[in-house]
Amino acid sequence: MATRFFARSLARQGAANTRYTHTTRWIQRYSYVTNAQATVAPATGAILSSKVDKDALRVKWNQGNVDSAYSYLWLRDNCQCEKCVHPDNRQKLHSSADVPLDIAPSSVTFKGDSAEIVWNKPLRHQEADQHVSEYPVEFLQRYASREASEQFRFNHIRPNTWHKDQYKLKWVHYDDYMNTDAGLHEVVQRLYNYGLVFLDKVPIKDEAVTTVAERIGPVQETFYGRDFDVKNVAKSRNIAYTSLYLGFHMDLMYLDCPPGVQLLHSLKNSVTGGASIFVDSYYAVKLLQEQYPEDYETLVNTPATFHYINDGHHMYYRRPTIVTGEQQSGPAWDMHVNYAPQFMGPMDHLTPSQATKYYRAYQRFADFIEDDRLRYELTLQPGQLVMFANRRVLHGRTAFDPLSGDRHLKGTYTSLDSLKDKLRVLGAQYGFDSTV
């Protein structure tokens, strides 16, 4: 967290008087005023020194040996006062386009645990006034470096990849998850760390699966509805609604924004067979990259076609099998996988030579996914629920005998944004544990 990245204790420094004739210089724990006499104010012990440049305020921090540069445009745009940010809804009250390109401070003064800036001109399209911005030192520390801001957003964490023998089953009790921060925090951490979580003692009710999902965030409704039934159905519109073997896949790859988290809750299961199976696709990606780097690059750079043309729908999207290197997501979220063989459409955009490269790479990736050493298998009993990261953990089902009993799972989705939201909020309160 950014607040842990720097020292939070703030010591007040003494005051003195001085005059500056240069427009830019290092100032040791003093205020800065342009073309005027400066009165030095108490400064924070977190800041070693500050420097006013032509286009940025530069700060040297006491801890971490970090030098930070804050653009005047960025500072004015991110003023935290009530005229600039609504005190209740915390939404900006101006546009970034309103900040004059030549804006600069008339003065910069460090006062205890904050920095005060008086600006030389108003925002565009506003009446002239001498706007004063005050920035808590904690706010400046939060954005003192790329690393600091990534920690504040929990974008610096990394998932734990696993194969069958490395995944350790741990049941989370429904009551703990629904009624305590500790239970919810454990689930969202495990969802991030491993992409796969199991709950026990879930009420055997149709609506229980959406209740569990909504503890994290709103249900992501699809053309299947708010929830869906997974059971053997005659003339089904989805292979999941049969008793056949259901190979590893991810759901709804043909949507523009596939769900980030899927939930399946067992209501009935007395059949022979029908075990749930899971694979960490990140581990399969790791093996492919290590052993066949050229094939890895092919799957990163070649969009695959996904479609659903049935039951009055025509869904289509094209995306690479492996998506990685998304710097805007930070290290925590810079990869996801798109894999759904049952819903792959014609790769009509490839030349014959490109098709040869792609099919070879895809076959090698599929061989890793189908390796029994990666596959975690478990038969969900009534009252048990599995929650998994749909853009990471592949899921499937072994075949079952529909005449041997009943098998009925209830499913729903929630978004990856909701998981990120809960992870950040609970992480800020209780920290983050990569071993959970």
**Per-residue pLDDT reduced to its tens digit, 187-196:** 999 999 999 9
Q: Which of 383, 211, 362 is nearest to 299 (CA)?
A: 362
pTM attached to this predicted model: 0.85
User: CA 261, CA 188: separation in Å to the nearest integer?
Assistant: 11
Range 216-219, long-range pairs (CB < 8 A, 24+ positions): 216/184, 216/187, 216/188, 216/261, 216/414, 216/418, 216/419, 216/422, 217/414, 217/415, 217/417, 217/418, 217/419, 217/421, 217/422, 218/414, 218/415, 218/418, 219/412, 219/413, 219/414
pLDDT the model gives residue 234: 42
pLDDT band at 301 (very low <50, low <70, confident <90, very high): very high
pLDDT the model gives residue 403: 87
Go through 18-36 and write b for each residue having 16 or more CB atoms within 10 A of its CB, e for each that does not: eebeeeeeebebbbbbbee
pLDDT at 40 over 80: no
Count Cβ atoms below 10 Å from residue 338 Cβ, excluding itself.
22
Neighbour-count burial of 350, counting CB atoms closer than 10 A to its CB (0-12 exposed, 13-18 middle, 19+ buried):
middle
User: CA 73, CA 91: separation in Å to the nearest integer?
Assistant: 18
Q: At what angle do helices 352-369 and 281-291 cross, to 10 degrees?
A: 120
Q: β-strands 335-337, 114-119: how paired?
A: unpaired
φ/ψ of residue 425, rounded to 5: -65, -50
pLDDT in tens, 304-324: 999 999 999 999 999 999 999
pLDDT at 47 over 90: no
pLDDT band at 36 (very low <50, low <70, confident <90, very high): very low
